[in-house]
């Protein structure tokens, strides 16, 4: 159960982080009223969120080996 929850949270964080990164880079211009569009600060923030998601996934994989 813990492994599944960590994997799910990690995946959601990675998807959100990549979405924020692509919005900040100006690749995804949706939704039109978003404050993140073409704002380079969100590229860094999005990558950090995506890396945090990857770390949570790795923790979840290791937690499954011990259970």
> Along the 67 residues of the chain, how does pLDDT read in single tens digits?
899 999 999 999 999 999 999 999 999 999 999 999 999 999 999 999 999 999 999 999 998 676 5
Write down the pLDDT at residue 66.
62
Cα 12 to Cα 32, 33, 41: the distances in Å are: 22, 23, 21
Write down the pLDDT at residue 63.
84
Q: Is the pTM of this model over 0.75?
A: yes
Write down the pLDDT at residue 25.
97
49 CB-contact burial (10 Å; exposed 0-12 / middle 13-18 / buried 19+): buried
């Amino acid at each position: 159960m813990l492994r599944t929850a960590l994997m799910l949270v990690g995946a959601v964080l990675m998807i959100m982080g990549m979405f924020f990164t692509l919005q900040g880079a100006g690749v995804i211009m949706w939704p039109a009223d978003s404050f993140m569009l073409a704002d380079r600060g969100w590229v860094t923030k999005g990558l950090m969120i995506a890396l945090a998601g990857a770390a949570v996934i790795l923790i979840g994989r290791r937690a499954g080996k011990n259970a």
